[in-house]
């Protein structure tokens, strides 16, 4: 099963100007803010910032927004975003990533082709692989329970 690939934006194609400012549907959430402490009414896009690649607090924020708070709008990763992090970003709930200036979009896209299915559940595909419909192990378990 191949998961849908997140949208990738090259750094030079991303405008940090007035985009989203003064717009009630946009929220830029600093990585030290608890997502549960902000009002999400009417918000359709949230930018989560990675100040450096070793600071993963935005991963936790994305997961909380998707799984616990039920946010269904766009989650965008900004800041020090490396291609090594993209698959995990997608699994924790990000839809869009703005790559750091020295990152190649084509190389980044290859990450999703390299890692396209997982045994564990995540923020998007909650059930583990063995429990998903159409999987042989789950089908055998159901057949054994009804026999």
Residue 84 and residue 100 in contact, taking contact as beta carbons nearer than 8 Å: no
To the nearest whole percent, how much of the chain has pLDDT over 90? Answer: 44
Q: What is the mean pLDDT of residues 16-44?
A: 83
Residue 20 and residue 47 in contact, taking contact as beta carbons nearer than 8 Å: yes
- Give the pair of three-digit tokens for residue 130: 């063995």
| pLDDT of 113 | 72
Alpha helices in the chain (DSSP H): 57-63, 86-92, 105-114, 136-146
Q: What is the mean pLDDT of residues 88-117?
A: 82
Residues sharing a CB contact under 8 Å with residue 126, sequence separation 6 or more, in sequence order: 67
Identify the weakest region by mean pLDDT among 63-72, 74-83, 104-113.
104-113
| pLDDT of 121 | 53
User: Model pTM greater than 0.85?
Assistant: no
What the chain holds in terms of domains, given with CATH numbers, is: 7-116 (3.20.20), 119-147 (no CATH)
């Amino acid at each position: 099963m191949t998961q849908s690939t997140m949208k990738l934006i090259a750094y030079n194609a991303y405008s940090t100007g007035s985009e989203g400012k003064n717009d009630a549907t946009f929220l830029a959430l600093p990585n030290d803010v608890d997502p549960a402490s902000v009002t999400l009414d009417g918000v359709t896009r949230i930018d989560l910032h990675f100040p450096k690649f070793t600071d993963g607090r935005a991963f936790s924020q994305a997961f909380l927004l998707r799984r616990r708070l039920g946010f269904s709008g766009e989650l965008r990763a900004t800041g020090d975003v490396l291609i090594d992090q993209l698959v995990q970003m997608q699994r924790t709930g990000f839809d869009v990533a703005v790559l750091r200036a020295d990152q190649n979009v084509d190389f980044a896209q290859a990450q999703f082709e390299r890692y396209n299915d997982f045994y564990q559940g995540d923020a998007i595909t909650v059930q583990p692989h063995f429990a998903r419909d159409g999987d042989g192990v789950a089908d055998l378990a159901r057949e054994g329970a009804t026999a």
